[in-house]
Each structure stands twice: as structure tokens, then as C-alpha cells.
Structure 1
């Protein structure tokens, strides 16, 4: 067990020291989108805001909207309490990302 833990720690330290950072679900979806404004700095900024405002499941759900915008509309129009709570968080995330990342 100890060699596995040591290897994981070594890999983490190597990635931190080399400046390699794994992209989150929002950033990956943003970079893979066909939007002209989807530059690396903008997508990274939006992911930073997502990390501050959305849980992991919320981030994955929001990331799915990049490929399927109709899904966003269905969630927005849903009568489900869970979808309504998610949409409230998602809307706040969008407003914060727009304000925070406008200069990226």
C-alpha cells in the first residue's frame, strides 16, 4: 500500500512543479466547444469560478449544456425542485463568471 501512496504523491508533486493542471469539466467543455470566445484563458477563468460556486455534480451537469443547449432549456423550464435549485446556482455561477472573466 505504501508504494502506491508514494507514487501518487510523487505524481502530484511532479504535476504541481511542472505547472501542469488538470482541466475541470467546465473548462474541458468550453475548450471543446465551437465558440469563438472559448480561449484557454477564458475557459480556465470560467472553471475557476465554477470551482468556487458549483459542486462537482453541478459542474458536470452545466458542462453538458455546451454539447446539448436544449438540455439547459429543459432544466430551466423543469418543474422539479432539484432542477429549480440547480438553475438558481447555475444562474448565479453564470453571472459571477461573466463579471469575473470579462477581462480574460
Structure 2
């Protein structure tokens, strides 16, 4: 393969993969999920809302719910003040994401 063609292929691959690399934890988890509504536009929108409403640690914790929904239930039912505070933030995030991204 000619060096120019090889460089062009590398540039295309890099541009395609950089979008996912730049995605936040919620967007990556959304895109990796088996949900029917999960597509780039929806997942990017949900990540935008997460960026506006959740701190980084909260985003990582929420992203884990995509792979393990039972984990969300455990946090929701927890008696821990930290979990209860997180759940309030997470619930507000969910409501805002639904309103903002369901257009």
C-alpha cells in the first residue's frame, strides 16, 4: 500500500475512534448497552445532560448501571446518606435527560 493511502486510512480510523475516546462515561456505557434506543445522538445527548448535572464520580457510578441494573437497585434501596444523596442527583439527572433528549 502506498504511504499516502496508508496515512489516509490511519487518519480515517483515528477520526472514527476519537469520537468514542472523547465520549464521557455515560455516553460510552450507553453506546455499549443493548438498549434499542441507544444510538450516537441519544447517547451524546444524555452525556451532555450528565455533564451539566453530575460530577465525574457520579457519572462513573451511573455508567455502571448500564451493565449492572441490579447495582442501581442496591444504591436506590441503600440506607447510606452518600447513596441517598447520589440517588437524588441521579434521579434529577434522569428526569432532565428524559425531558431534554426525548425531543
Q: Aligning the two structures, in what range does the TM-score lie when normalised by the shorter sequence? A: 0.7 to 0.9
Provide the C-alpha distance between the structure 2 equivalents of 1:95 and 1:39, rounded to a whole number of angstroms: 19
1:41 shift after superposition: 0.2
> Structure 1: which 4+ aligned runs deviate by more than 2 Å?
none
Deviation at 1:76, TM superposition (A): 0.0
Residue matched to 1:64: 64
Question: Where in structure 2 are the equivalents of 1:2-41 lying within 5 Å?
Answer: 21=19, 22-41=22-41
TM-score by length of 1: 0.80
Deviations along 1:60-100, one digit per CA (max 9) or x if unpaired, are 00000000000000000000000000000000000000000
Matching of residue 95 in structure 1 with residue 89 in structure 2: no
CA distance in 2, matches of 1:39, 1:31: 6
Q: How high is the TM-score relative to the length of structure 2? A: 0.80
Partner Cα distance (2:51, 2:76) in 1: 21
Q: Aligned residues, how many?
A: 86
Name structure 1 gaps, 5 residues minimum. Answer: 1-17
Look up the match of 1:47. Answer: 47
For residues 58 and 98 of structure 1, what CA distance do their matches in structure 2 show?
18
